[in-house]
Amino acid sequence: MAINITMPALSPTMEEGTLAKWNVKPGDTVEAGDVIAEIETDKATMEVEAVDEGTVAQILVDAGTEGVKVNAIIAVLAEDGEDAGSVSAAPADAPAPAAEAPAAEAPKAEPTTEPAKQVASTPVQMPALGTGDDRIKASPLARRIAALKGIDLNALKGKGSGPHGRIVKKDVENAQPGLSAPTGAAPASPDGLILPQILDDRVYAPDSYRLEPLDGMRKTVARRLTQSFMQVPHFPLNVDIALDKLLAARKGINEAAPEGVKVSVNDLLIKASAMALMEEPDCNASYSDNGIAYHNGAHISVAVAIEGGLITPVIRNAETKGLAEISAEMKDLATRARERKLKPQEYMGGTFSISNLGMFGIKSFASINNPPEGMIMSVGAGEKRAVVAEDGSIKAATVMSVTLTCDHRVIGGAEGARWLQAFKRFVETPESMLL
């Protein structure tokens, strides 16, 4: 009996991924535990192991295919003793597709010699086909390709190579640029909220720029941050913090630390953030429609820039960890983040985020909140500034500006201000983190 290999869910929120690479080919024998493929999610590349043994009979999804839905059949194994050449995919439970034509004129199946790939592309808004005499006859695959390529099916109406002029895959793939949808048209957002983002050919000639397709990470960042900016009521709180004592403490810590241990300013800010969350637990919270979730531990997400986007590896229960442990863990997570080798549990489940652009000389900035976390702190550069001392004299001090962006559904202005007071105290008097 055929054994279906399906697209695995590599994280709780994964809905689709890219089948980056096959490590097997038809005819190969595999055993349980063999690495057979590599899957790219929006944040990482992960290996897929076989859970059964057998001979690879068919590979239904080619390497490099994007938008492969979780649980879609990607390959078929033949069991021991079966003829791999005669094995096909076992039936998969799936909802019946919606009818695309009146019952009296159901569209005929498109002839093909290729195996039926039970794979869906990135969700797009299908073009309307009309009704009655105005109906455009087109296969579902042709409609999807047309939506992705921006082809106007009206230009191909009645000219398809399928039965009765039905538009099929090759008709859309062979469509000339002149058959594109009118300028300004584009697939609508799946949620109906985000307007299409396209370049007008009348302003930017198509040959005047290079178009780089979006990868999974870019799509995810764009979608999540757009949703956050539109749906989460943000408000910022700003404060200046003196760093001189923290810098002196860091120097002493590193001089006394064992060989190989080097604590960064960011490591100290992670620790101070975690302790401030424990002191102000109302701020260690997430909004949900069922209520406010108050987290027991401070799980600090740290924004790390990587090629093609950013990722936020999480230091879990940072309030319980020493600086050396935070430093070592952060270095490891950042290194593997840049290699896209993090596991989902290593970049999901944070309760608070830090984004630090101080190393680029940025004085201050405000980040977009990272739901479901209630707050994100933006850290600017530490710089020498003239400050007024308590006795009225003016002196030079190293000062950094931070901006706390809060989800107003969870955090009120007073709560956010109290958290910043606690954070500032821990940074300006680092010895207080030992109490």
| Residues labelled catalytic | 408
Which residues make Cβ contacts (< 8 Å) with residue 7, sequence separation at least 6?
A: 16, 17, 19, 39, 61, 68, 69, 70, 71, 72, 74, 119
DSSP 376: E
What DSSP line would sit under 211-224, residue for residue? Answer: PPPP-HHHHHHHHH
No. of H helices and E strands in the chain?
8, 19
Q: Which of 281, 278, 275, 354 is nearest to 322 (CA)?
A: 275
3-state secondary structure of 354: strand
Q: Is the dihedral of CA 52, 57, 61, 64 positive or negative?
A: positive
- Check if the beta carbon of residue 85 is closer than 8 Å to that of residue 115: no
- DSSP three-state, residue 181: coil
Residue 92 in contact with residue 4, Cβ under 8 Å? yes
Residue type at position 311: I
Which residue reads 């201050």 in tokens? 364
Coil, strand or helix at 147: helix
Measured between alpha carbons, how far is 99 from 286 in angstroms, rounded to an integer?
Answer: 42
Q: Residue 257 in 3-state DSSP?
A: coil
Of 431, 384, 423, 424, nearest to 250 by C-alpha is 431
DSSP 270-322: HHHHHHHHHHSGGGSEEEETTEEEEPSS--EEE-EEETTEEE--EETTGGGS-
What does the alpha-carbon distance between residue 130 and residue 128 come to, in Å, rounded to a whole number? 6
* Amino acid identity for residue 430 in this structure: P
Separation CA 119–CA 69 (nearest Å): 6
